[in-house]
Amino acid sequence: MDQSKNTLADFFRREGRRLASFVRTKIEDQADLDAEDLVQDVFANLLERADPLSEVENLSAYVWRSLRNRVVDALRRRRNHLSLDEPIAGEEDLTLSDVIASDEPNAEMLLESAEDLAALALAMESLDSKEQELLRQTEFEGRTFRELSEEWNVPIGTLLSRKSRAIRKLAQAMENQPI
């Protein structure tokens, strides 16, 4: 068994540079992949076997095929990952992580917001005029129930009750709207 491990070590010493060069040509645009690491993985996998050469007929062909498979696997895994720190195409100073963290609205957010406002306006039409005015004053203009109670000469409890009913009606009207 020691003899087969020595044979492997000799092979990788002799062919290591050629193997790494082969890998570099395949992964030249992948900065996070290292050719020597892939060669080392193939070597380590062979060494982990009880008798590495007993199952291998042609060591050279086996190593080259294993290395090719390692490169393909590494490139497949690489394609499935998107770096948040890589610049966005066409934008030198903007990364995906900047876009995600940004508080600025994007086109999708603006469209959804416009659709939500249109749905709310349509649902507001299902309320009677007192309910509509109460929601406008308390939710959009920031007025308090106390101010409205004094101005409209209506008890606060009545206003609270009216607003509660209005919100239930509004929620139901928005649920019934087509998506």
pLDDT in tens, 60-93: 888 888 888 888 887 777 655 556 666 766 666 7
CA 100 to chain centre: 9
Cβ atoms 8, 46 nearer than 8 A: yes
> What does the angle CA 114 – CA 115 – CA 119 come to, to the nearest 5 degrees?
120
Cβ atoms 64, 17 nearer than 8 A: no
Token digits of residue 72? 């393909």
The mean per-residue pLDDT over the stretch 153-173 comes to 90
Q: Which secondary-structure segment (H or E) carries 145?
A: helix 145-152
- The whole-number pLDDT of residue 83 equals 63
- The whole-number pLDDT of residue 1 equals 53
Sign of CA dihedral 74, 76, 81, 86: positive
Sign of CA dihedral 135, 141, 147, 153: negative
Query: Mean pLDDT, the chain, as a whole number?
Result: 79
| Across 18-27, 79-88, 156-165, least confident range | 79-88
Q: Residue 159: pLDDT above 80?
A: yes
| φ/ψ of residue 143, rounded to 5 | -80, 150
pLDDT in tens, 112-148: 777 777 888 888 888 899 998 998 899 888 899 999 9
Domain definitions of the chain by residue range: 2-83, 107-175
The correct CATH number of 107-175 out of 1.10.390.10, 1.10.10.10, 3.40.50.150, 3.40.50.1820 is: 1.10.10.10
Answer yes or no: pTM beyond 0.95.
no
**Percentage of the residues of the chain whose pLDDT score is greater than 70:** 74
